Structure formats: structure tokens, C-alpha cells
Chains A and B, each alone.
Chain A
Amino acid sequence: MTGMALAPRAGAQYARILGIGAYRPSRVVTNDEICEHIDSSDEWIRERTGIITRHFADEDESVVDMAAAAAEKALAAAGISADQLDAVVVCTVTHLLQTPSAAAELAFKLGAGTPAAFDISAACAGFSYGLAIAQDLIRGGSATRVLLVGVEKLSDITDPTDRGTAFIFGDGAGAAVIGPSDTPAIGPVVWGSDGAQTEAIIQDVTWRVFRNGATHKFPSLRMNGQQVFRWAVYEIAKVAREALDSAGIGADDLDVFIPHQANMRITDAMIKQLGLPESVVVARDIAETGNTSAASIPLAMGRMLEEGQIKSGDLALLIGFGAGLVYSAQVVVVP
């Protein structure tokens, strides 16, 4: 059959992050408060994780509410209005409505008109996955300006009595507006998954089991901390190195390292593995924000910009890794 050739649509040659916005819920939760439910101490939690405080959202504060607060800041930073967006992508594992997506509701809440809108589930690698997708949407011509939000309300699926996870997680949202660029500003993504390690970080029971009444305990996250530590430090550090190679830069060219804020000990061990020079500024937002999964990288970048630790034009290595297991890294130009 000799069909007609379909009209192609060309995208921008390159893409870049135009603006970042961060939102942390107002309630600050101390380690002492966490220890009301587990046999632990402020000192133990600080030593094992580097976490001093985290933020928890209010009962009636949804992931869409938090995402909107971060998105408005990112739009303002980018100098873009919501109606100029043509795609809205939300990375989350804690939008506790199976359908519809958080992204469609978010787009409407922002007054973004009728953009393409969808959620992605890549846990703590979500933001880095989303950045790769956003860049490809723009370069492929499917979108011109993309809103990408990493948002989590992990307090909803954390068991406050679980000694392995109760102190790790926090709530928050980080957003980025991505648009066309004349020069390369988001490096090639290096990403993947390892489904053989599904059990390393996992919701303990399915919604179906919960519905059928086999358990009355609301499903929550479980994590094998040692397994995740080993994987992150000794396997995923290689991914970070590949991302540098793919971007054509060396560790000496790097200004900033923003790993997913999983655990300060993982960050420290990764720096050692990567042999990063001391001149590289390292994100340590976990101390006051906890582990916010998909939100952690943009939250950390937002704080570093606000506090003047980094500046527009800096080269930042981002790496996300988490439940799946999944991982993703790329080098970006700081907006």
C-alpha cells in the first residue's frame, strides 16, 4: 500500500530548565516526635541518616495542593504563565487516587488551559526520569513548555511504628519549567531498572489485599536499608560517572552534585566512590527536609539557589534512585 507521507513536526534542538520552585509544608517534625512511636533517639537518627527534621503535610493538604504551590514558584522563576504550558508531568508515588492523574487536576488548578497531562511512577528517580521525558517532548516537537513536578506525601504511606522507615521520609514538592534552548542544557540521560530487587523498597501489601480485609493495617512502605545502601553506593555511583561521560564533562568540570536525598550516609559514600573534587557543592537538603522521594532533587536545587550556594549556569549532576529498583542520572545547567 502506498500511503501518503504524514507531516512531521520538528521540535526545538535543545531544552533547558527555565525555573525551579520548591514547597515544604509548614509543619516541622523533629526526631524526638518521630521517636514517640519507635524505640530510637534523635542521636541515632542523625547518625544513620543525617536527618534533623522533616516536614509533614496537613491531613487535608493533597499532593496536588503541594504541587501547585511549587509549580507557581517555578513558573514565576521561569517568567512563564500557566497558560503557556503545553504539558504537565507529575512524578509521584503518593497520589492516593488510582485515577485520574494528579497532573490533570494540577493543570486545571493552575489555570493552564488544556495541556497534555500525566503522572509517572519512578519513585525516587521520578524527577530525573521526568526531566528526560520533558526534554524529549520538547526536542521531539510534542511540547514547547513543560511543567515537571516531583511531589510526595510520604507521611500517608509511612508506618510511624516501623523502625526501618519511620524516620526517613518527609513531604514536599519541587517543580521545574522546561523549555526550548539554543544550546544543550540537559545532558543525555543514563537510566534503567533492576526488577530483581523489587522487594528492596516496596508497599507492604497491595490495595487488593487491603480491600479484601486480609489486613486492617493501611498499606505502607518497607525498605531493606542495607540492601539499598549497597546498591546505591556501589552500583549507582557508576551510573553517575556514565552521566558525566555522556555529557562530555569530567568531575573537575562539575559545579554541583544533587543526588536524590535518600540518606546523608549514601550521599557521603557516593562522593567517595565518585572521587568528586572538594570544589563541587553537594546538596544536603535531607538534614531539614528528610527523604521526599521524587521531590528531593528539585527541593534541594531550589534551596541551593535560594541560599546562593549555586548560581545560574552552573553544571549540576543529578541522580535519582529508588523503589523498582530504578535509577536515572543526567547533567543539567542550573537555571
Chain B
Amino acid sequence: MLLIACPWCGPRDEAEFHYGGQAHVAYPEDPAALSDEEWARYLFFRDNPEGLFAERWSHTAGCRRWFNAVRDTATNEIHAVYRAGEPRPVIA
């Protein structure tokens, strides 16, 4: 049970959150202009690193806001949380 610091509510148990996978994957500007390969990439392919990963969470049992976190998937350590729309912080 991770302890996740919601940028709006503070630290809460993981069970209050919904996971949203990789962050910063924007819906394509013009899907019709994409090739099938490019569209498939948007639909189905996400990064899966062993290490730092910028990912989305939603505080579903709290403020219901989506936000982003940078977590190390090898250790589960959360290095940063930041609000949706903010740039990914640089982790030293």
C-alpha cells in the first residue's frame, strides 16, 4: 500500500487512488491524419520502464482530481507528484 501525496489533499493510502498509466500521452491533435501504425501506438503502446516513470493517478476516493507522479518502478519510491498540466519535474 503506497502512500501517495495527492497534490490537493496530501498523503493518502494507495487504496484511495485509481491508476492511470503513463503520463504525458496526449490524445492526437488529428487522429484522422494518423497512419494505422501511429494510431495503434497511441491506443496500445505505453512505456514500461524499470526505473523512473511519469504516471497518472486519480484521487477517486478523495478530491477526484487527476495528477501525475514520478515513481521508480524498481523500488516503488515516489520522487515527485505534480498537478495535471504541469511539466514533468527533473529528478536528479
Are A and B interaction partners? no
Chain B residues engaging chain A, CB cutoff 8 angstroms: none
Chain A residues engaging chain B, CB cutoff 8 angstroms: none
